[in-house]
């Protein structure tokens, strides 16, 4: 299965993708993780991305697409993948469809996790205390949520219009949300 996870920062994309990887036995590809690894490794790409990420902004479409193409052609996505954190704007959504058409691996389904803003802020503040991620500061979080509303929310419509969207309530325990996703992805039994 080729799955895209959509949702605001803190909606549980990374959390659920890690569980879905075990369940579906396909790789979890997080553009956030790929970018953070490039920053840690101090590659030229990482150096370019670092300040943008810390402010909560989006890294340039060109950089992220190049990095994603490299990852999607690594040879382990024959049975599918879970894409987490991409696409984040309409240009990325179109670029992804073009890239995957070329690779003969179109997206089957996009799962959107819906969580209200107050809860998102609370979750990210919790992670800031535990992990100290540079982009979980209150200012960067505000910026990330604003960018989500302006740039990423239209991506949900993009998948809805092409009949590939599953919209789910992302509020509840991690187990409850996981169960909801698994049920939504299960094939519908034949009736009659
Ligand atoms: P990401 O790594 O994608 O960060 P994120 O949106 O915060 O999501 P994440 O998956 O980490 O968190 P989750 O909701 O699971 O991106 C980071 C940055 O990288 C971006 O700001 C941008 O600069 C750059 N970037 C990445 N992709 C890009 C792209 N395509 N284009 C341009 N730039 C890009 O979890 C958050 C917290 O909530 C956790 O602490 C978790 O424990 C908690 N949580 C999750 N589910 C919960 C539940 N059910 N109940 C309670 N808490 C829960």
Residue boundaries of the structural domains of the chain: 2-26+80-185, 28-73
Q: What residue's CA is closest to ligand 1, atom 25?
A: 32
What was the pLDDT predicted at 187? Answer: 80
Q: Which atom of ligand 1 is nearest to the CA of 10?
A: 14
The alpha carbon of 63 and the centre of ligand 1 are apart by a number of angstroms equal to 19
What was the pLDDT predicted at 188? Answer: 72
Q: Which atom of ligand 1 is nearest to the CA of 8?
A: 6
Three-state SS for 171?
Answer: coil
Q: What residue's CA is closest to ligand 1, atom 10?
A: 14
Q: How far apart are CA 57 and CA 134, in angstroms?
A: 12
* CATH superfamily, region 2-26+80-185: P-loop containing nucleotide triphosphate hydrolases (3.40.50.300)
Specify which residues 37 forms β-bridges with: none
Q: What is the CB < 6 Å shell around ligand 1?
A: 9-15, 30-32, 35, 52-53, 56-59, 64, 84-86, 88, 92, 123-124, 126-127, 135, 144, 172-174, 177
Active-site positions read 13, 88, 127, 133, 144
Q: Which atom of ligand 1 is nearest to the CA of 130?
A: 40
Stated as kind and residue range, the H or E segment containing 30 is strand 28-30
What was the pLDDT predicted at 130? Answer: 95
Q: Report CA-CA distances (Å) from 17 to 24, 27, 113, 177.
A: 10, 9, 12, 11
The alpha carbon of 9 and the centre of ligand 1 are apart by a number of angstroms equal to 5
What was the pLDDT predicted at 41? Answer: 97
The alpha carbon of 188 and the centre of ligand 1 are apart by a number of angstroms equal to 30
Three-state SS for 67?
Answer: helix
The alpha carbon of 191 and the centre of ligand 1 are apart by a number of angstroms equal to 38
pLDDT per residue as tens, the chain (192 positions): 999 999 999 999 999 999 999 999 999 999 999 999 999 999 999 999 999 999 999 999 999 999 999 999 999 999 999 999 999 999 999 999 999 999 999 999 999 999 999 999 999 999 999 999 999 999 999 999 999 999 999 999 999 999 999 999 999 999 999 999 999 999 877 665
Q: What's the pTM? A: 0.93
């Amino acid at each position: 299965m080729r799955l895209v996870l959509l949702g605001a920062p803190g909606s549980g994309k990374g959390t659920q993708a890690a569980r879905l990887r075990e369940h579906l036995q396909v790789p979890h590809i997080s553009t956030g993780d790929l970018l953070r690894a490039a920053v840690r490794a101090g590659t030229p790409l990482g150096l370019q991305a670092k300040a943008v990420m810390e402010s909560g902004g989006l890294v340039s479409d060109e950089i992220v697409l190049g990095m994603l193409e490299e990852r999607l052609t690594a040879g382990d996505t024959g049975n599918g993948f879970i894409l987490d954190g991409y696409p984040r704007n309409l240009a990325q959504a179109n670029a992804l469809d073009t890239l995957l058409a070329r690779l003969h691996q179109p997206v089957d389904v996009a799962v959107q996790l819906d969580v209200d803003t107050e809860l998102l802020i609370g979750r990210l503040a919790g992670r800031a205390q535990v992990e100290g991620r540079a982009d979980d500061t209150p200012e960067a979080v505000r910026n990330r949520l604003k960018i989500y509303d302006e740039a990423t929310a239209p991506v949900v419509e993009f998948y809805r219009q092409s009949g590939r969207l599953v919209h789910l309530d992302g509020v509840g325990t991690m187990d409850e949300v996981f169960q909801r996703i698994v049920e939504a992805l299960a094939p519908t039994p034949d009736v009659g």
